[in-house]
Amino acid sequence: MTSLSRASKLCSTCAFWAGSRKINPGGHVEIHPYSKGDCKGGGFNHVVTGAMATCHKWKLWSLIGACISQKDPYKQT
């Protein structure tokens, strides 16, 4: 398993990615680095991408956003 912070702008932390992932108690996304999932509206729309891929349409996964505190510098409004 690989643990990624919310600052990692990768498919596995994106709202549009539909691959297997979970959030650990520390607010990091845990994924298998070779896992794949469908892109559902991002830059690779309707294409299977790897968890470590990235594109210009990245948007923070809402479940990560729910873990962000008021003092977090990565908070998106």
pLDDT of residue 48: 98
pLDDT of residue 1: 87
Domain boundary assignment for the chain: 1-57
pLDDT of residue 71: 39
- Distance CA(31)–CA(39), nearest Å, equals 16
The residues, any chain, with a CB within 8 Å of residue 53's CB and separated by 6 or more, are: 10, 11, 44
Query: Tokens in use for 2?
Result: 């690989």
Query: Tokens in use for 69?
Result: 């505190």
Tell me the pTM. 0.81
pLDDT of residue 67: 67
Q: What is the mean pLDDT of each run of 10 residues along the chain (77 residues)?
A: 91 96 92 96 96 95 71 49
